[in-house]
Amino acid sequence: MNATIRQIEVKSVISKTNLPVSDYAVNPYVGCTHACKYCYACFMKKFTGHAEPWGTFIDVKTWPPIKNPQRYAGKSFFMSSVTDPYNPQEKIFKRTREFLQTFQGVDINLSLQTKSDLILRDLDLIKTFKNVRVGFSINTLDENFKDDMDAAAPIERRLAAMKILHAEGIRTTCFISPIFPGITDVVAIIDAAKNFCNLVWLENLNLRGNFKPKIFDYIREKYPTLEPLYDSIYRRRDLRYWLQLDGVVRDYAAANDFEYVRNRDDLQRDFDAPPVIVNFFFHEQIKKGLTAR
């Protein structure tokens, strides 16, 4: 896919964030050419002035030198909240790498989240951070479904990169998100990653914004037998699917001696321990639903 690429100047690449996992977000790019059909970050077009469809453009940020990076010691950073720090364009522009170089030797808590094995290029830098975690978003083992949903690296390469990072002593996360009801095999993904990840995060598909009808059209075309399920979940707000899946994963965790917790943000584990499975479903709503029943 040919993307529209611009270079823009910004006052800072660091911004305060309300994310529960960090103090600051770092987004070296505007837009993302991984073009995920379910991308919540498409709301950014309201602020960027782009006429192009989300996923077909990327703005490459340049920013002034960060003065005294040491003043951020002890703070937590998330890369990235509304883009992927390892878009294909990172090969050329190296904006993520520049940020990592700037903060070498600074005692920050750094979380990197990606769908690309390009992150291995920066293994030398990542290893210099004392408190670092690398997450890979994986919501299927089916490469055909993956190709329908995004233009990012194949799942096989994401898993291989996770294995390499874990072997180098870096804490890794398998972020199973978004979980497509009836399509995403959560247990199979955990089985595929469990030997080289420390955390497994679970997040359900949240259909909002202008991509909701696109997802419904896709289900209707490719998985017509699932259309009633999606109608039940996303039009009638029936929570039973998520409750049932919660039980399935809880049983799996118990059978495999994994810790299974809900909605906790920062968990420390020894490398040799089984992964911790963290459920980020909408449990406040689920609890209300259970009470109502």
Domain ranges of the chain: 1-129, 132-206+239-293
Task: Please give the chain's pLDDT, 293 residues, in tens.
Answer: 578 999 999 999 999 988 777 899 999 999 999 999 988 766 666 667 777 877 788 999 999 999 999 999 999 999 988 899 999 999 999 999 999 999 999 999 999 999 999 999 999 999 999 999 999 999 999 999 999 999 999 999 999 999 999 999 999 999 999 999 999 999 999 999 999 999 999 999 988 777 899 999 999 999 999 999 999 999 999 999 999 999 999 999 999 999 998 765 445 555 566 789 988 875 454 444 333 33
Q: Do residues 230 and 181 lie in contact, with contact meaning Cβ atoms separated by under 8 Å?
A: yes
Rounded alpha-carbon distances, angstroms, from residue 149 to 140, 155, 227? 10, 12, 17
CB atoms within 10 A of CB 42: 20
CA distance 252 to 189: 12
Q: Are 127 and 168 in contact (CB under 8 A)?
A: yes
Which one, of 15, 16, 47, lies nearest residue 31 by Cα? 47
Helix (H) or strand (E) holding 116: none
> Which parts of the chain fold into alpha helices (H)?
45-48, 90-93, 95-102, 123-126, 143-149, 155-167, 186-193, 212-222, 227-234, 240-255, 283-292
Residue of 162, 187, 164 lying closest to 173 (CA atoms): 162
